[in-house]
Structure 1
Amino acid sequence: MSELVLSSSVGIGGENQAEDVLKIQKALNAIQKKIGLDEPLSEDGQIGTNPSVSKTCHAIALMQEKILGFKNPDSLISCNGKTHKALEKAIQQPSSTLSLFLPKIEPEKGLTEEDYQHAAGLLNCEVAAIKAVSEVESSGSGYFENDAPCILFEAHQFSKYSDHRFDESHPEISSKKWDRSLYLGGEKEYGRLQTAMTLDRTAALKSASFGRYQIMGFNHQAAGYDDLETFVRDMFFAERHHLIAFVNFIKSNSRLLDAIQKLDWPTFARYYNGPSYAENNYDKKLESAYKRHC
């Protein structure tokens, strides 16, 4: 399928003209596996007398939840609306390095001053302190140019969470010890992550840091998520998710919370970046960034 041209809205509350409904049914069937649709829809151009129990409307809601991340999907596709455009992109999207995550979407990038102030209020710290971490962790952006969240894949963590099963067969992604030379950097890290995911998906996702604040997958619960997959999914959708995950993570660690409130950068650096933080002058970079944002 290529372009998805509609003349009217489809779904609950939609006009549901047969020709448009048929196009939507075909499009949803084309991405059946991506949205978790158990059985393909009947391509009959019909919604039914009760849209609330329509399989087509249910599939629209699944698509909104899986691809757009809607918490409360409305099962409605409006002409040229957000759901329409996302569905059209999904059916056009070829296999790519992101195919093991989500269909390629346009994330909601950037953080507003209000976002920062809200986060600072939750942590009872200065806005400049949060902006400092934002700058140092990801150069002020949570996404690469390809719209995927910034990541760094850690081979020593993958080795740990996969019980060292791949140390010999895949030394470039599984190492008992941290090895800086294994990093490829930037978008190339997705190639390493995808290779690891083909071996052990859960271990791989636990072993990468995600988003603007580079929170490790194994820290998803501390970041406020019950399961790993939901954490990773939200990192793709919006940068505000990165910020809320950061707030939750800091609140889960009393040392980090106390350090960011007191602007104790060596202590913050130690517990956020690891005991070897001084090798990269992490604490000094944070202090300098804080002064710039004051």
Structure 2
Amino acid sequence: MSELNLASSVGIGGENQTDDVLAVQKALNTLQNKIGLDAPLAEDGHIDSDESESSTCLAIILMQRKIAGFKNPDGLISCNGMTHKALKKALVESAPTLSFFLPKITPEKGLKEEDFEQASQLLSCDVAAIKAVSEVESSGSGYFENDAPCILFEAHQFSKYSDHRFDESDPDISSPKWDRSLYVGGEKEYQRLYKAMQLDRIAALKSASYGRYQIMGFNHEAAGYDDVESFVRDMFFAESYHLIAFVHFIKSNSRLLEAIQSLDWPTFARYYNGPGYAENRYDEKLQAAYDKHNTD
């Protein structure tokens, strides 16, 4: 996990609401080796009546010493207090998204108006059309809060590219058919990708969509890259690379190119999002986003 949102204090003298305690237990287990926790905490949302002897409270004290640097830890995590902030920072830094591809870097986020204009010239389409795809695909941002590119891991693609070898052993990341229930969303998708990479790195990288325009890894050649590793690497560096990849990808497909030029959103949706686009009203969302940006 890489997020820790609390509604109340947790630990010695805390309010210790079940959901908050559970979130803290999960976070501390994620950092088990870093804080020197001998065994994982029971993730039950419960703190013993004798708080000073509670395993969760003792783990909080360990974390305060090892991570927050407290000389006199009090075993309490207050909402948005120093311990909470230190724990959140440690979770982000320990997240596999920032270590299994590259050393931690700060990407160049955002796109300038001239970036969109240049792309529109290369595609001979309206600037508002490109902005519409930007908005619908990733809510206008290519990165999560932890500076890793937005992704969505597709279990049915991993099953395909790994020759179905892991369908039985790892059904949460390898499925013969598309299954919406397997998504976990947001930064947590990297946990699924990381697990798949331990089984078959290349198949895993090909099986996720990346960045502002959510281009699938298996489309790396259409996006202008000889191999999927190079494609994924650039998605970590800058959002401008996301746009360049998008331009290459659209130009590689005549149906997509004609559709974005003519503002034929149903056709664009079909070839960009898949035949089930209508179920998610993808074409309608594109039309609405285009109408909004066309009046800016």
What is residue 120 of structure 2 aligned with on the other side?
120
By how many angstroms is 1:274 displaced?
0.2
Per-residue deviation at 1:186?
0.2
1:100 Cα deviation after fit = 1.5
Which one-letter code corresponds to 1:179 in the other structure? D
Residues 115-138 of structure 1, C-alpha deviation per residue, up to 9 Å, x if partnerless?
000000000000000000000000
> 4+ runs of 1 displaced by more than 2 Å?
93-96
**Corresponding residue for residue 194 of structure 2:** 194
Q: Which residue in the other structure is 2:254 paired with?
A: 254
1:172 is paired with a residue whose SS is coil
The residue aligned with 1:50 is none
Q: Does 1:178 align with 2:178?
A: yes
Letter in 1 for 2:187: E
1:23-172 aligned at under 5 Å gives the runs 96-98=95-97, 99-172=99-172
TM-score (norm 2): 0.67
One-letter code aligned to 2:280: N
Query: Which string of whole-angstrom CA distances, capped at 9 and with x for unpartnered residues, describes residues 209-244 of structure 1?
Result: 000000000000000001111100000000000000
Q: CA RMSD, aligned part only?
A: 1.0
Question: What corresponds to 2:276 in structure 1?
Answer: 276
| Structure 1: gaps (5+ residues) | 1-92
5+ residue gaps, structure 2, are 1-91
In structure 1, the residue matched to 2:213 is 213
- Tell me the SS of whatever aligns to 1:152: strand
Q: Which amino acid aligns with 1:225?
A: Y
Residues 253-287 of structure 1: CA deviation (Å, up to 9, x unaligned): 00000000000000000000000000000000000
Paired residues in the alignment total 202
SS at match of 1:163: coil
Take 1:94 and 1:232, find their aligned partners in 2: how far apart are those partners? 20
Q: Deviations over 1:124-157 (max 9, x none)?
A: 0000000000000000000000000000000000
Q: TM-score, normalised by structure 1?
A: 0.68
Amino acid at match of 1:221: E
Please give the alpha-carbon distance, in whole angstroms, between the structure 1 residues aligned to 2:127 and 2:93.
Answer: 41
CA offsets 1:7-40 (integer angstroms, 9 cap, x no match): xxxxxxxxxxxxxxxxxxxxxxxxxxxxxxxxxx
Structure 2 residue matching 1:209: 3-state secondary structure: strand
From the superposition, tell whether residues 103 and 266 of structure 1 become closer, same or farther in structure 2 (CA, over 3 Å): same
Shift of 1:170: 0.3
Partners of 1:140 and 1:196 lie apart in 2 by: 27
